[in-house]
Amino acid sequence: MADVPFFPTHALEGLASPADYVEAVRDGYRQRGEGAPAKPRTKLFQSDPGGLFTSYSALLPETGAMGGYMYSAGFGGQDAWFITPLFDSESGEPLAILDGASMNPFKTGAAGAVAVDELAREDATTLGIIGTGSQARGQLHTTATVREFEDVRVFSPTEANRTAFADEFDAQLEASVHAVDSSAAAITGADVVITATTATDPVFDGSLLESGTHVTAMGQYHPKKRELDIETIERSTYVPDLRERATFDAGSFIAALEAGRVDEDHIHAELGDVVAGNAPGRTNDDEITVFDSGGTGIETVAAAAMLYERAMEAGHGTTISMSPASEALTGRLE
């Protein structure tokens, strides 16, 4: 029997800064580049009531943890529920169960920030963001820790959303954050572009990207949905979070592949390979780079392990009892 801590959202709040998430996730991707196993998500769909159930996992040996996400979205309740089981990668014993929702924008944002640090120009000062939801917030919080942005342009089709987002971050960041009225205005002249939307079709015209721009796209993980157009993919040095995912559910890359504009050799490297030094990141100031982020167990386990350690130190959480298979698999009815 093992007493396993459970950490609800309130037990995890305030335990880590955006920079802390970036540091943990960077180390997770380094381990991936050095051989740590991780697989793309599995997705199960239901049509009535409509919903998605998905999971993905990773094992980070140096962190000493393995696990991932399981979550549901939609269905009759029209909401999402995130659970993160975490296991000890040496003993195999359960370490903790976390309510994974609150960390989601920050751990995903941290993956984007690591990519910006590896792939964007060192002198990047202008950022364009398309999207204003929780994921866009997480991306901006974390990315602002790896570059000193001076000008941040924000676009959402809903004027009230982009204005509120700009006002919120203009008060928090040293950069000037302001709303713009089109995606073209957000990306034109931007050194870094982030897309964090629920769009099913491209959210900007790739011909408008200037040489030297880095793009992080993180809003889609479906083979028929995409935030980036074919031209953006074709012009770019393309880096996915996982190579296997590029032809599995990275809709932007799959569209370019099916159109015959790129082949699988267009995949430059996984992000982990760049972080670990197995492949170069940006090689010149004119290069257009793309990080295609669909979410992996790498950032999930890295962030969850960090939060677990800090929550334990703070004495947070409650415990539940779990039995190992040697005790539970008796085959008896009593």
CATH code of the domain containing 320: 3.30.1780.10
Residue 333 has pLDDT above 80, yes or no: no
Residue 63's nearest CA partner among 39, 90, 40, 84 is: 90
Total domain count for the chain? 2
Strand order through the sheet with 318-322: 38-47, 50-60, 65-74, 79-88, 94-99, 2-7, 318-322
Would 186 be classed as within a structural domain?
Answer: yes
Q: Based on the domain organization, do 161 and 257 belong to the same domain?
A: yes
pLDDT tens for each residue of 164-209: 999 999 999 999 999 999 999 999 999 999 999 999 999 999 999 9
- Asked if 157 and 287 sit in the same domain, the reply is yes
Neighbours of 183 (CB within 10 A): 24
Q: Cis peptide leading into 202, omega within 30 of 0? A: no
CATH code at position 224: 3.40.50.720
Domain identity same for 275 and 319: no
Mean pLDDT in residue range 199-228: 94
268-327 residue pLDDT tens: 999 999 999 999 999 999 999 999 999 999 999 999 999 999 999 999 999 999 988 888
Same-domain status, 98 and 125: no
Which pair of structure tokens corresponds to residue 92?
Answer: 């195999």
Banded pLDDT at 219 (limits 50, 70, 90): confident
Rounded alpha-carbon distances, angstroms, from residue 273 to 60, 235, 298: 15, 21, 13
Same domain, 162 and 272: yes
> Do residues 241 and 262 share a domain?
yes
Do 99 and 130 fall into the same domain? no
The amino acid at 93: E
In a domain, 173, yes or no: yes
- The verdict on residue 111 lying in a domain is no
Residues 84-96, mean pLDDT to the nearest whole number: 96
User: Is 273 part of any domain?
Assistant: yes
Claim to verify: residue 164 and residue 239 sit in the same structural domain: yes
Cα dihedral angle (309, 312, 317, 319), rounded to 10 degrees? 100
Q: For residue 242, give the nearest of 281, 295, 196 by alpha carbon.
A: 295
Contact present, 263 and 269 (Cβ < 8 Å): no
CB-based contact 272:220 (threshold 8 Å): no
pLDDT at 126: 98
Residue with tokens 């491209």: 202
Respond yes or no on whether the N-terminal peptide bond of residue 49 is cis (omega within 30° of 0): yes
Q: Are residues 78 and 171 in the same domain?
A: no
Give the pTM: 0.95
* Per-residue pLDDT, 276: 98
Same domain, 173 and 273: yes
| Full residue range of the structural domain in which residue 22 is found | 2-104+297-328
Cβ within 8 Å of residue 309, ≥6 positions away: none
Residue 272 lies in a domain: yes
Is residue 322 a contact partner of residue 265, using CB atoms and an 8 Å limit? no
Domain for residue 114, yes or no? no
Q: How confident is the model at residue 222 (pLDDT cuts 50, 70, 90)?
A: confident
Same-domain check for residues 324 and 210: no
Predicted local confidence at residue 332, as pLDDT = 66
In-domain check, residue 333: no
Same-domain pairing of 322 and 265: no
Residue with tokens 């050799």: 265
